[in-house]
Amino acid sequence: MTRGYGVRAVAAVLALSAVLASTACTDEGGAPAPAAPVAGGAAALPGPAPAGLALRPAPSGAPAAPAVTGTLTDGSPVTLADLWADRPVVLVFFSSWCTACAQRQDALSELARTHRDSVVFVGVVTEDEEQDVQRFLREHRVEYPVVVDPDGAIWRSYAVREPPAVALVAKGGALLRGWPGGIDAGALDRALRELVLA
């Protein structure tokens, strides 16, 4: 009698385990739970610029920024010229293993949220592993799109040799300023107000 009870108990536990395992990744309706969106992917691309956005004109004689194309972290294609067609762009060159990048990123993420309607922030990452990039983006609450530059071609087109670095592109594509070695969020905010935001 005891032995039969033990066998039934084990069978019941196994059946319950199978049921729990089969429903672990579903919502209450039984449908599979949606996968978390990839940080830095197409979902982070901006919508249309707000009507009446007041911007400073680019100075005459400013060089044109390299109008490169790339692939976002989720595999979606992106063309930088499409992004700066209607508002300025801040390019943030980083790597997840870069200590200076990590030290500045939280404040840069907050600055990007502050100016999300008027300026597009775009990360450009190279020499990195996908899982490390995703960890970095989530840890530092990076909510803007991130281009993966596996061979460093985009970095070279902007003369970036090592992270961090930042470049500011005016609406229309004029390259206004670059900061090898990066820039802190407060100084970048002042530069945005002086150079692009009316």
d(CA 166, CA 186): 13
pLDDT digits 0-9 by tens, 39-97:
999 999 999 989 889 999 999 999 999 999 999 999 999 999 999 999 999 999 999 99
Is 81 in the same domain as 134? yes
pLDDT at 25: 41
Q: Which domain holds residue 126?
A: 42-195
pLDDT at 126: 94
Asked whether 126 and 157 are in contact (CB, 8 A), the reply is no
Is 110 in the same domain as 159? yes
d(CA 124, CA 168): 13
Is 24 in the same domain as 88? no
Give mean pLDDT, residues 185-191. Answer: 97
Is 100 in the same domain as 21? no
Is 116 in the same domain as 79? yes
pLDDT digits 0-9 by tens, 1-23:
444 444 344 333 334 333 334 44
Question: How many beta carbons lie within 10 A of that of residue 21, not counting itself?
Answer: 9
- pTM, two decimals, is 0.81
Specify the CATH number for the domain of residue 178. Answer: 3.40.30.10
Query: Mean of the per-residue pLDDT values for the chain?
Result: 86
Is 51 in the same domain as 1? no
Q: Is the pLDDT score of 170 beyond 70?
A: yes
Nearest residue to 88 via CA among 111, 115, 69 = 115
Is 70 in the same domain as 9? no
Is 20 in the same domain as 116? no
Is 156 in the same domain as 79? yes
Is 114 in the same domain as 139? yes
Is 64 in the same domain as 160? yes
Is 109 in the same domain as 175? yes
**Looking at the 3D structure of the chain, how many domains does it have?**
2
Distance of CA 184 to the CA centre of its chain: 18
